[in-house]
Structure 1
Amino acid sequence: MSPELSRTTDAGHGLLVHEWIEQIGGSENVLDEFARIFPGTDILSLWNNAPERYTGHRVLQSRLARTPIRRSKALALPASAVVWRTLGLHASYDWMLVSSHAFAHHARVRSVPADRKFVYVHSPARYLWVPDLDERGQSRAVRAVAPAFRALDRHRAQETVHFAANSAYVARRIEDSWQRPARVIHPPVRVAELQQPASWRGEISADEARVLDGLPDEFLLGASRFIPYKQLDLVIRAGEASGLPVVLAGRGPLEAELRALAADASIPVHFVISPSDEMLFALYESAAALVFPALEDFGIMPVEAMALGTPVVSRNEGGVVESVRDGVSGTHVEEWTPTVLKAAVQRAVGLDRAQVRASVQRFDSSRFRDQISTWVLGT
């Protein structure tokens, strides 16, 4: 047992709080680490769609879990603002650690003093505070009620003494939205685990190996869900600017649209639909560069790619600039024009891959566990 985990015996009776629990998700990866740091601690969420995920923990659900509203996050969000205030918990807790990207930071547990509530913020609710980044915030209904919900959200944030943000970019958003300071604790990335195999090609299935072998020797990779804000069309544009083939890995509602763009592109564009984790890691290793156009609060995928030595071409804003070091582990793009993209790709693919690989040790999950443990237990 690590020193951090052994210290939890003196931490008292704690509670972990999370918006909702799904089978897959970046915020769930953070909750996974919380659960490792504080074994046996109760976990509370609005509902739990992964009942086998946290064995060894008592997982509590809100009353929303017993209603059809759990099937619609859009409907659940305004209701959750009320539910988090009326939890009706019977157990007494000494502290609480909250994972919040909507309204979980509103959670009130009467036994927990204000200075023992710790909130790890993935982002203040994007559909309220940055609706241009979240299509839910662009509907007429949301725009009508957003001012009242922003006022409530800011008011509830004043109750919390301790905030941590997953990036300096989000910390600035917390300051702008809630007028509260937050320390920065970058989210956990499996850097050491990714770097353990000699090659991920040896970890994939025979069918996946045939797919990988069928790809060009040199290509640019775009990997994400096929949804608008990921801007995968810009990956194709980067391929055309640099003359390199493109591989798009993922799945989502824009697949047909992306395939239509691919058919008209001046370079070959290959699709790898729903790759396994192992296949995705093998794609990272094989790519000349990962092109990452999305404006993200942090961006786990670029760190994963860099952990395997693959440089990243990213925009020059958002959380990604905290991990992608221009000229060291990738290149930043301000304008996605052919001339700028050609130069950015050429600079990226010329970087030393061993240097790229070494640049992301500070994002390993072990450091996250150290920082969270010190924050909660040492504060």
Structure 2
Amino acid sequence: MAGLIIHEWIERHGGSENVVDEMAAVFPDADIHCLWSNAPDRFAGHTVSESWIARTPLRKSKAAALPFMPATWARTDVSAADFVLISSHAFAHHAGGRQPADGPQRFVYVHTPARYLWAPELDVRGGNLAARALAPALRRVDRKRAQDGATFAANSDYIRQRMERSWGVEAEVIHPPVRVEYLQSVPSWADRLSAEDAYLFSTLPSEYILGASRFVDYKRLDVAIRAGELAGLPVVLAGAGPQHAELQALADAATVPVIITTRPSDELLFALYQAASLLVFAAVEDFGIMPVEAMALGTPVLVVSEGGASESVLSLEGGIVLDTLNDDQLRRGANSARELDMTRAQAAAAGQFGTARFRQEVLAWTSRLLGDS
């Protein structure tokens, strides 16, 4: 069958791109289409095409391109495909417009309905003047296109519920692929470090609380520092971003040592997971890859109940879920999480969240309508 995989835009790094990697592995003969690609060599063996936006300066600014995205996707011709598999976190689910009776079956894997439209309180882009002005019209179009006849899957139950509220559509849940098998293939990531990373790693305290993500406000890395102070443990922050100076000021004022590691390599991040006493992940995420990675390597996590991260923690019993982040709950949660036996979580992580599991579930989801042909 001639399949077409569609994704918003393609970057060299990104969780949604990792999903498309696995979709391409499930359907190795499928073509791939996107608005633009900044990683032209990412999908070797697949024909990758781009929209007209790729030939304009709009490709350099998602905000500037946003008003053109819905119509561009709706006018995308998908008629030559036997089926279309769409990875959507903005407007890619509009691809092909209204579903004709004799058109290809469309499967849409949803990372989230566009947050700046449907959950602006969680996305700073939703607060700017242009976004507020365009939002009512875009929401009407977005909901209408979502009801044009596609079959949906959500990356978490949290997103499934957002889809039902926003679009009025039902979806099954297929959690995104997490590189559990790869992470667990190395007994000690500390032994894989470069000389420079090995030296940095050797200077870290023997026990510490880890906070890892982009240094932006909604990731709430300040909570990791506060958890360290309440638990009386040093804190390591790993990542990079515009909030670096603010986090450095908090680190300098903290009552426990706080070490900031900028732009860690993958190997160093994995070694930090393995050595940490606890990963504090206070962001409200659609799913949350990092908590699963930490649990797969035997490190308990502390997350908030809102968002998708709590689903993996509760499923694997690999951490503590907090409803509030007041000092008492944070102290109790951090201490309780550090006492957990992570044996079960490590053993179950691949089966529930690994890449092989994702491929199997995507194939089963699409095969129910496509059959074995």
**TM-score, length-normalised on structure 2?**
0.95
Q: 1:6 — aligned with what?
A: none
CA drift at 1:378: 2.6
Pick the aligned partner of 2:59 from 56, 66, 70.
70
After TM superposition, where is structure 1 displaced by more than 3 Å over at least 4 residues in a row? 109-115
Q: 1:151 — aligned with what?
A: 140
Size of the aligned set, in residue pairs, is 367
Q: Is 1:198 the equivalent of 2:187?
A: yes
Q: Is 1:99 the equivalent of 2:87?
A: yes
Q: 2:366 — aligned with what?
A: 376
The C-alpha deviation readout for 1:109-129, integer Å capped at 9, x for no partner, is: 788945710000000000000
Say whether the 8 Å CA contact 1:93–1:111 is kept in structure 2.
no
CA drift at 1:355: 2.6
CA distance in 1 between partners of 2:294 and 2:313 (Å)? 10
The C-alpha deviation readout for 1:123-177, integer Å capped at 9, x for no partner, is: 0000000000111101122112211110110000111330000000000000000
Q: Unaligned regions of 5+ residues in structure 1, if any?
A: 1-11
In structure 2, the CA distance between the partners of 1:265 and 1:38, relative to structure 1 (3 Å rule), is same
In structure 2, the CA distance between the partners of 1:375 and 1:123, relative to structure 1 (3 Å rule), is same
Q: 1:281 — aligned with what?
A: 270
Aligned runs of 1:38-57 on 2, under 5 Å?
A: 38-57=27-46
Pick the aligned partner of 1:348 from 337, 341, 348.
337
Q: Is 1:339 the equivalent of 2:340?
A: no
Structure 2 residue identity aligned to 1:233: D
CA distance in 2 between partners of 1:269 and 1:332 (Å)? 24
CA drift at 1:334: 1.9
Aligned runs of 1:1-379 on 2, under 5 Å?
A: 12-88=1-77, 92-108=80-96, 113=102, 116-325=105-314, 328-361=317-350, 362-379=352-369
% identical equivalent positions: 52
CA distance in 2 between partners of 1:359 and 1:372 (Å)? 19
In structure 2, the CA distance between the partners of 1:44 and 1:301, relative to structure 1 (3 Å rule), is same
Say whether the 8 Å CA contact 1:119–1:160 is kept in structure 2.
no
Say whether the 8 Å CA contact 1:94–1:113 is kept in structure 2.
no
In structure 2, the residue corresponding to 1:351 is in which secondary structure? coil
CA drift at 1:326: 8.5
CA drift at 1:308: 0.2
The C-alpha deviation readout for 1:300-347, integer Å capped at 9, x for no partner, is: 000000000000011112101110129931011222122211111111
**TM-score, length-normalised on structure 1?**
0.94
In structure 2, the CA distance between the partners of 1:113 and 1:173, relative to structure 1 (3 Å rule), is farther
CA drift at 1:199: 0.8
RMSD: 1.6
CA distance in 2 between partners of 1:166 and 1:112 (Å)? 27
CA drift at 1:204: 1.3
Say whether the 8 Å CA contact 1:289–1:312 is kept in structure 2.
yes
CA distance in 1 between partners of 2:29 and 2:54 (Å)? 22
